[in-house]
Chains A and B, each alone.
Chain A
Amino acid sequence: MFMYIPFIKYRKIFYCLSGLLVIASFAAMIFFGLRFGIDFKGGSSLQVEYSQKRPPLEDIRESLKEVGLSGFSVQLSGEKGVILKAKELDEEMHQKVLAGLEKLGDVKSGSESFQSIGPVVGRELKEKTKKVVFLALFAILIYIALSFRRVSRPIKSYIYGIAGLIALCHDVFIPLGVLALLGKFYGAEINIPIITAFLTVFGYSINDSVVVFDRIRENLLKSGHLPFEEVVEKSLNQSLIRSVNTSFTTLLVLLAIFFFGGQTLKLFSFSLALGILLGTYSSICLAAPFLVSFLKARNKKA
């Protein structure tokens, strides 16, 4: 397979493409907003399966109103399932709602899933999440700066860190935009599993960038006399197959989870897969070219 893709030469195309996607994602986030699930907002979610016939939506709504519930939403799931979302329910209310649903039809025993989370818990979780995200980002930046301290020419080691972070932001904003879209049109909610997926994408995206930088570093040490741009171009093409293959195997696995792994993990595997796909793309088409652009810009000033 003798391909030579001039990534650096055509970097402006990649910049434009990525730039557009990021702007579109921002727009989606601003106009549609991010839909957070009950893990963060608090509230309750009740799910049951009927064993024979599922009662019509209107009847269910009536029954819930009778019990005194307001401000709720009912969804039909699959063929026999019902998902109810409301504000926090105490145990007494929970039992009343359940009894009402059971009166309408034969609820399969053992099929009930219920979750009720107080608003305080949700708030705390939000705070905790923010802390963890910043901690992770910080740790990653330090790690990159440290591992590249030997290669200080022609650009300082922390520039690699910045390049990695730019790629990371790109890999996170675009899926967030997609989530905003999915939230608006499909009711997809951001809960703890999605945050977990994003944290994993952090690790993976930097992972990928580091491998590419690694190759650049090695080639710089070997052929330091060659112009920087050429070294980077060569490194990218050398590590292309490797990058694609490693992501591909992980993606294969994630696809398996998405299609066969059950409803609960669908959004999780989707976000993770999207993040990893973007991670591979950004390491090669954004992070490395950024190094070159930075050098060029700095030399122009000098």
Chain B
Amino acid sequence: MLGQKMYIKLIIILALAFFGFALVFPSPFNKTIACLNKRVLHYTGIKAPFFPVVPFKLGLDLQGGSYLVYEADLSKVAKKDWSERMQGLRDVIERRINFFGVREPVVRIEEGGGRKKLVVELAGVKDVDEAIKMIGETPLLEFRREAERENSSGTQKEEMKVSFVPTKLTGQYLKKARLDINQTTLEPQVLLEFDKEGAKIFRQLTAENVGKRLAIYIDNVLISAPRVQEEIKGGKAQITGRFTLEEAKKLVRNLNAGALPVPIKLISQTTIGPVLGRLSLEKSLKAAVIGFLAVAVFMILFYRVSGFFASLSLLLYGLILLSLFKLIPITLTLAGIGGAILSVGMAVDANVLIFERQKEERKAGESFARTISIGFSRAWPSIRDSNFTTLLVALIMFSFGTSFVKGFALTLGLGILVSLFSALFVTKTLLTLFVDSKIEKIKWFWV
């Protein structure tokens, strides 16, 4: 009755449906498996594996959270060092956020208008102002060396004004800071230990500046400027300033949490309260279901049984899309859901094109089987062209950059691709099932 190819196609479809369902709604499946395991396990030794329970990854605007944009002040840094500094900045901020226990932060570097920015995404953070404060309190640690000064032809009375210029050695190379009490003066001091890179740089700095002063700046304030006695190979330094014990302790704690290599400024902040986030999520899900139902009803009314199959393939399309969201994973935002819902409407496009072609072929007197194959093949150029333009726009939008646009373009593009599959493969297979069957003969079932 059915060719071998058809069987394979059918099995693929059913398998996809099954796994799609299981991935998106795992609990009923897992409950059944648990039941089965208990009973069947007795007799065999085999335990069926559970379906993985993969939660959806929700974006900031759906679970609540903050989106912070910092601008890095790279004015004092040589252009060739920019990306290295930004990397250091990124690492420091991430370390600091982790240090204070924020779950799954996202810290990344962005560029815009020739300026480097740092984007921090904090999902589900309860106290955003705490987070902002803690980022803002990151100390800026810099080592500066004496600038070359002109040989003054003046008298000895003239004070040589010393100015310091920045060097490569900044907070990003700091491995550890420790509190110490100077044995002789009983003053608190802060011991710095650099990482391997930092130790190298420090060694070179000290070697080049023997006899001169190296200034230690924290948050642009000169803390101390000891004279270099000799080249320091161990990568350790100490800061003696006029600290109180409390100040020293705080400095050590702050430095250990991460010290900035460049100053940063908060230029944009977006916070969505979790209440609003959850509301948005619920509402958009409701809209998705209603939209889907409306389209299904319309398709069935207008295209009857073919429409019914289109709705089925639409359902499968939804399951596949949601599974992809879980597996890849794609962070769902409000825009993303909007894009996915929109792609549902466009997914039906392909089906409509095919069905209209089929109607024409039917009118021209072709057999049922032929209307299917001609309908699909003749409609393909139109489907390809029209979806291509939307895909093109989605691609351009994706490279736009803002997270809203990116999320929307991604789900829209993905939705279109999956919908092409569902319309061309699934609907066609379902329809072909009925070729040469009794049901085919029932005229009013079809269009």
Contact = CB atoms under 8 A, between A and B. Distances in A.
Is chain B found bound to chain A in the same assembly? Answer: yes
Contacts of A249: 295, 298-299, 345, 348-349, 352
Contacts of B283: 260-262
B349 A246 contact: yes
A120 B267 contact: yes
Nearest to A262: B283
Contacts of B169: none
* Residue from B129, B299, B360 with most neighbouring chain A CB atoms (10 Å): B129
A264 B349 contact: no
A253 B340 CA distance: 11
B385 A124 contact: no
Given A121-B69, A254-B345, A262-B284, 18 more contacts: A95-B129, A111-B273, A114-B270, A114-B271, A115-B270, A115-B271, A117-B268, A120-B267, A196-B397, A199-B396, A203-B390, A204-B390, A207-B390, A208-B386, A210-B389, A245-B352, A250-B348, A259-B287
A89 B294 CA distance: 44
A256 interface: yes
B48 interface: no
Contact of B341 (A206, A214, A238, A256): A256
Contacts of B269: 91, 114-117
> Interface size bucket, B side?
35 or more
Contacts of B396: 132, 135-136, 139, 199
Interface of A: 47, 49, 90-91, 94-95, 108, 110-118, 120-121, 124-125, 127-128, 132, 135-136, 139-140, 143, 147, 192-193, 195-196, 199-200, 202-204, 206-208, 210-211, 214-215, 238, 241-242, 245-246, 248-257, 259-262, 264-265, 268-269, 272
A256 B129 contact: no
A192 B404 contact: yes
B334 to A, nearest CB: 6
B290 interface: yes
B112 interface: yes
B291 A211 contact: no
B404 A124 contact: no
A253 B353 CA distance: 18
Nearest to A245: B352
* Residue from B71, B271, B274 with most neighbouring chain A CB atoms (10 Å): B271
B385 A214 contact: yes
B136 A91 contact: yes
B284 A257 contact: yes
A206 B266 contact: no
Interface in B366-386: 381-382, 385-386
18 contacts: A91-B269, A110-B64, A115-B270, A116-B268, A117-B268, A121-B69, A136-B396, A196-B335, A196-B397, A203-B389, A203-B393, A245-B352, A246-B352, A249-B348, A250-B345, A250-B348, A257-B291, A265-B287
A114 B266 CA distance: 14
B345 A200 contact: no
Contacts of B360: 238
Contact of B385 (A113, A199, A210, A246): A210
B427 to A, nearest CB: 14
A215 B279 CA distance: 45
B132 interface: yes
A192 B402 contact: yes
What's the dominant secondary structure at chain A's contact region?
helix
Contact of B393 (A121, A136, A252): A136
Interface string B315-357: 0000000000000000000110010011011101100110010
Contacts of A112: 271, 273
A200 B388 contact: no
Contacts of A204: 390
B400 interface: yes
A108 B279 CA distance: 14
A187 B431 CA distance: 50
Nearest to B271: A114
Contacts of B295: 249, 252-253
* Residue from A135, A199, A203, A210 with most neighbouring chain B CB atoms (10 Å): A203
B228 interface: no
B69 A256 contact: no
Given A249-B295, A252-B295, A210 B386 contact: yes
Contacts of B402: 125, 192
Contacts of A210: 382, 385-386, 389
A110 B273 contact: yes
A120 B117 CA distance: 12
B280 A121 contact: no
A211 B356 CA distance: 13
Nearest to B297: A252
Contact of A199 (B112, B270, B393): B393
Contacts of B284: 257, 261-262, 265
B302 interface: yes
B113 A214 contact: no
Given A135-B396, A196-B397, A252-B345, A143 B271 contact: no
A77 B396 CA distance: 35
A168 to B, nearest CB: 11
Given A113-B276, A203-B389, A207-B390, A251 B345 contact: yes
Contact of A260 (B290, B389, B405): B290
B322 to A, nearest CB: 16
A259 B334 CA distance: 15
Contact of A200 (B271, B381, B393): B393
**Shortest Cβ-Cβ A-B pairs, 5 listed:** A250-B345, A203-B393, A256-B291, A262-B283, A261-B287
B394 interface: yes
A207 B343 CA distance: 14
B335 A207 contact: no
Given A112-B273, A132-B396, A253 B291 contact: yes
B338 A257 contact: yes
B270 A250 contact: no
B192 interface: no
A239 B290 CA distance: 28
Contacts of B113: 120, 124, 127
A98 to B, nearest CB: 9
Given A111-B276, A113-B272, A121-B69, A211 B266 contact: no
Contacts of A95: 129
B412 interface: yes
Contact of B386 (A196, A207, A253): A207
* Residue from B334, B346, B401 with most neighbouring chain A CB atoms (10 Å): B346
B342 A143 contact: no
